[in-house]
Structure 1
Amino acid sequence: MDKVMNGDDVDDHGQGGIDAAIQDYYGAWFDEGSRLTTRSTAGKIELLRTREIIAERLVPESRVADVGGGTGVHSEWLAAAGHRVRLLDPVPVQVERAAEIGTFRAEVGDARELPWPDGDVDAALLLGPLYHLASAEDRHRALAEAARVTRPGGLVFAAAIPRIVAFASAWLGDEAPDPLPPSMIELLERGTFRFDHIRSPGAHFHTAEELIKELESAGLVECEGLEGPAGPALEVRGSEGDDLLEPALTIARRFGPVPGVRDLSNHLLAWGRVG
């Protein structure tokens, strides 16, 4: 999560404005790949925990769709592990960078309308789209599409950003405003993206329970926090927190599934099998 976008500007234009902000944010100046690999200890923990959860559930040589896969950080390790991967992302610049890796297919597209036939993959990853879709209807469309292209018995993984962490991260390292602006209260109550400063062009922020309820239609019933409660602090420290990586990983693994505590992670990851 990175503080730059103006939430009121995005909201005034609805999902179309959010989509345009995504193109500018990820296409013009923010490096999503470095966020997961070098920029902060929290990003490294997110990547490691995501790998752990996904890798232990995939069978060898799975066909995997990485929807909203950005510059290919997840697709690269999946392909190296022997899986047959295809990446789809709405930002052409990111797709070009992903295609340069050369070990998987990469194309431009939208999570709400996937270009693949029914049951075409063994697993689908939605590790970014849900928190960029403002309406429950659009999030349902993305989940339904992921389930459609996944074979019966296959896996769907979906990530979200907890709203309590989005609320706190609006002023990471600064004093909280007093009194709270109405936009902050709206975020806590409904998860709506309306505030004046936020770290990425997000659109909706979940509680774990809300996420699980939304995902039940796609059969996703398990949910864990990825970075654990140390995640926000490690985000502030950037890469200077690497000496705390192993202890933070231990805490994240131990408490990632615990209701309430999992919402203190920077990201939630839910998964389940297509019925």
Structure 2
Amino acid sequence: MGNHPRRHQAGIDAAIQTYYGEVFDEDARLTTRSAQGRLEFERTQEIVRTATPAPARLLDVGGGTGVHAAALARAGYEVTLIDPVASQVKTAEKYGTFETLVGDARTLDFPDDSFDAVLLAGPLYHLVGRTDRIRALSEARRVCRPGGFVHAAAIPRFSAIAVAILPWKALNPAPDAVLDLIRRGDPAAGRFPAGHFHTSEELHEELVAAELSNVSVVGLEGPAGLALETVTKVSEEDFQAAKRLAVLFQDSSQIRDLSCHVLGTGQV
């Protein structure tokens, strides 16, 4: 897995605190930073709400600054947010419409069957080892009631590969890093404290291994997602066209991994 310190989980856990606490504005990512963020946000909300209509109790694991939690609370959900970064939890507290806690996806401090649905929009791609990822998914299943749904986002390695090779020079000094990404989902060293990038099939297998049923994996942003991340101005007409493409191709095994994120859903 390489010798970069972030390839070890303890290093990634420490880097997460710095990255989200001091470097990156997570609060803007799903709102104003890019049209891709808006598309990811809207698609995630629609999938979660369709599976579990309000009123319902929902746990937002790795919920960051509360963008998803606030929208769900406005829609009538009783939401609890946990995140490992205290400064992000403090930002989320400002909404005042849902419970906020500092916590880790791998050890959820809630009784069994506490929630109707669980959303993990972040933890999986910060966990290097399959054992830790299965543990996080199993914890989500444990605290979700029978019949409820667990939703888990992952970053597909093929969209990460596309980003990596856009500057062609990336293949020149570090071809082994690109090959590691292709073969095993090992992220190259960089500012983002990534632990693992998935394939859709791999995410499906991990949800099944966590003893979830009726598992499905869909692409969130679709084939236009990467473009929406890079352009500065997007008309509403173009945004809606991109969203229609995302819905149309969400189940396509050939296309879904070109989304910026995939979302796996399993039932308890």
Other-structure match for 1:143: 137
Residues 216-268 of structure 1: per-residue CA shift (max 9 Å, x gap): 1342511110000111111111x423452111001001011111200000000
Q: Does 1:169 align with 2:163?
A: yes
CA distance 1:246–1:176, change in 2 (3 Å): farther
How many residue pairs align between the two structures? 262
Other-structure match for 1:203: 195
Matched letter for residue 29 of structure 1: V
Q: CA deviation at 1:201?
A: 1.0
Which deviates further from its counterpart, 68-77 or 26-35?
26-35
Which of 119, 123, 146 is matched with 2:117 structurally?
123
* Structure 2 residues without counterparts, runs of 5 or longer: none
Q: CA deviation at 1:29?
A: 2.2
Residues 6-41 of structure 1: per-residue CA shift (max 9 Å, x gap): x92412xx1000001100000012111211001101
Separation of aligned partners in 2, 1:43 and 1:229: 14
Alignment of 1:123-272 (within 5 A): 123-170=117-164, 172=166, 174-179=167-172, 181-193=175-187, 195-197=188-190, 200-216=192-208, 217-219=210-212, 221-237=215-231, 239-243=232-236, 244-272=238-266
Q: CA RMSD in A?
A: 1.5
Q: Please state whether the residue corresponding to 2:118 is helix, strand or coil.
A: strand
Q: Does 1:67 align with 2:61?
A: yes
Separation of aligned partners in 2, 1:162 and 1:176: 22
Task: State whether residues 119 and 149 of structure 1, in contact with CA within 8 Å, keep that contact through their aligned partners in structure 2.
Answer: yes
Residues 165-221 of structure 1: per-residue CA shift (max 9 Å, x gap): 11222354x33434452111011000012x233x62111000001110111134251
Other-structure match for 1:8: 4
Task: State whether residues 223 and 268 of structure 1, in contact with CA within 8 Å, keep that contact through their aligned partners in structure 2.
Answer: yes
Task: State whether residues 6 and 189 of structure 2, in contact with CA within 8 Å, keep that contact through their aligned partners in structure 1.
Answer: no
Other-structure match for 1:27: 21
Separation of aligned partners in 1, 2:254 and 2:26: 28
Asked which structure has the greater RCO (Cα within 8 Å, sep 6+), the reply is: 1
Q: Please state whether the residue corresponding to 1:10 is helix, strand or coil.
A: helix
- TM-score, reference length from structure 2: 0.94
Other-structure match for 1:78: 72
* Structure 1 residues without counterparts, runs of 5 or longer: 1-6
Matched letter for residue 195 of structure 2: A
